[in-house]
Amino acid sequence: MIEQLDALLAQLDALQERALRELEAINSSAELEDWDVRYLGRHRGELKNFSTLIPKLGKAERPVIGQKINAVKERLESALEARRQELRDRELREALERERLDVTLPGRAVPAGHMHPISRTILEVARIFTRMGFQVVQGPEVETDYYNFQALNIPADHPARDMQDTFWVVPGQILLRTQTSPMQIRVMQATRPPIRVIVPGKVFRHEAIDASHEAMFHQIEGLLVDEQCTMANLKGSLARFAREMFGEDRRVRFRGSYFPFTEPSAEVDIDCILCKGSGCRLCKYTGWLEVLGSGMVHPRVLREVGYDPRKYRGYAFGMGVERIAMLKYAIGEIRLFSGNDLRFLRQF
């Protein structure tokens, strides 16, 4: 009986060894299921065949064989489970591999629009001044001679009208505004100090169009009137504007100038953004760039709107938006703004 027992145990060992070897070679779930049936099948599995021998064994051998069968069964089952997991992992890996995308293909375009550089520049300027308590207002683009000229101390036949060649709708009466300054008058008439407004908008000049002149362009007017404003405040406001618009280290220079509706008047320059003041073509080798005109509101203008110039003081300034944008974005040609070439617009 011992011999028989030993022989059985040896057969079980051999079975286990053969089963594990076969399992090792299996590469698909179908084969795996075959293997499962062949070795661990409840009905005709090889291990089951051994169990059917147990009743024929002696009382002492039965548990030995039983335990051995269980040990082999556990071993095979765990090996099967491990193999199954391995195969599942591999199949998933292979499935994912088959789904590989070319991530360098362009994405499905969600069209993205662009703001016109003039709108963008106006917005930037407006934000800087609204942070200083200014409000943004707009005005009519077709204006009267009174608001555009007379109320601003530019009577008919004043030589200053030469600086602003005019498109006339009704000669002498109605015109396309040559500047945003008429809104100084409209705002001062419509409200009382304190006033802090900026006025962006279109303006028109009867000029031959070339690389640096446009018949229609944009300006931003600024007006501050209260009982304590001085020209030092004008300089303070514009210095801050220049730093925020053109860079923290920008320097601002005031120099004498003439505008009929300000007194004293000042031209405002910033040090050249390209050469930092050492001189280059952009600044015509002066180291400075002219950015805007400004001054203290002329007493005649204050009297025109019924303000007492001994009580109220104010400053005003006006800048060309195209000029600011050309400096800021290094654009050499003013006609690009009205050209609306998408190759230009897409850059903003």
Q: Pick the closer one to Zn ion by CB: 116 or 251.
A: 251
Distance set, CA 200 to CA 25, 127, 156, 177 (Å): 81, 12, 26, 13
Point out which span in 36-44, 65-73, 86-94, 237-245 binds another protein (CB under 8 A).
237-245
* Residue 346 binding result from Zn ion, another protein, none, given CB thresholds of 5 to 8 Å by partner type: another protein
Burial of 150 (0-12, 13-18, 19+ CB in 10 A): middle
Residues 189 and 182: their CA atoms lie apart, in Å, by 11
Q: What is the DSSP string of 170-204?
A: ETTTEEE-SSSTHHHHHHHHHS-SSEEEEEEEEEE
Residues 204 and 175: their CA atoms lie apart, in Å, by 9
Tokens 């099967």 correspond to what residue? 80
The minimum distance between CB 327 and another protein, in angstroms, equals: 19
Point out which span in 11-19, 41-49, 77-85, 172-180 binds another protein (CB under 8 A).
172-180
Q: Is 111 in the site for another protein (CB under 8 A)?
A: yes
User: Does residue 217 contact residue 320 with C-beta atoms inside 8 Å?
Assistant: yes
Q: Pick the closer one to another protein by CB: 37 or 123.
A: 123
CA dihedral 22, 26, 30, 32 (to 10 degrees): 50
Which residue in the set 44, 104, 106, 306 belongs to the binding site for another protein (CB under 8 A)?
Answer: 106
* Number of neighbouring beta carbons within 10 Å of residue 327: 21
Which residue in the set 174, 213, 281, 332 belongs to the binding site for another protein (CB under 8 A)?
Answer: 174
* Residue 231 binding result from another protein, Zn ion, none, given CB thresholds of 5 to 8 Å by partner type: another protein
Q: Note every long-range contact of 166-174, with CB atoms under 8 Å and residues 24 or more positions apart, other chains counting.
A: 166/204, 166/205, 166/206, 167/204, 167/205, 167/206, 167/215, 169/142, 172/145, 173/144, 173/145, 174/142, 174/143, 174/144, 174/145
Q: Pick the closer one to another protein by CB: 69 or 183.
A: 183
* Residue 332 binding result from another protein, Zn ion, none, given CB thresholds of 5 to 8 Å by partner type: none
Q: Pick the closer one to another protein by CB: 17 or 141.
A: 141
In 3D space, the residue among 176, 202, 177, 206 whose CA is nearest the CA of residue 118 turns out to be 202
Which residue in the set 30, 159, 248, 249 belongs to the binding site for another protein (CB under 8 A)?
Answer: 159
Give the three-state DSSP class for 332.
coil
In 3D space, the residue among 229, 219, 232, 220 whose CA is nearest the CA of residue 266 turns out to be 232
* Residue 19 binding result from Zn ion, another protein, none, given CB thresholds of 5 to 8 Å by partner type: none
Q: Which of residues 252-311 bind another protein (CB under 8 A)?
A: 252-258, 260, 263-267, 296, 298-299, 309
* Residue 274 binding result from another protein, Zn ion, none, given CB thresholds of 5 to 8 Å by partner type: Zn ion
Q: Pick the closer one to another protein by CB: 53 or 231.
A: 231
Q: Pick the closer one to Zn ion by CB: 255 or 303.
A: 255
Q: Which of residues 119-138 bind another protein (CB under 8 A)?
A: 119, 123, 126, 132-133, 135-138
Q: Is 196 in the site for another protein (CB under 8 A)?
A: yes
* Residue 197 binding result from Zn ion, another protein, none, given CB thresholds of 5 to 8 Å by partner type: another protein
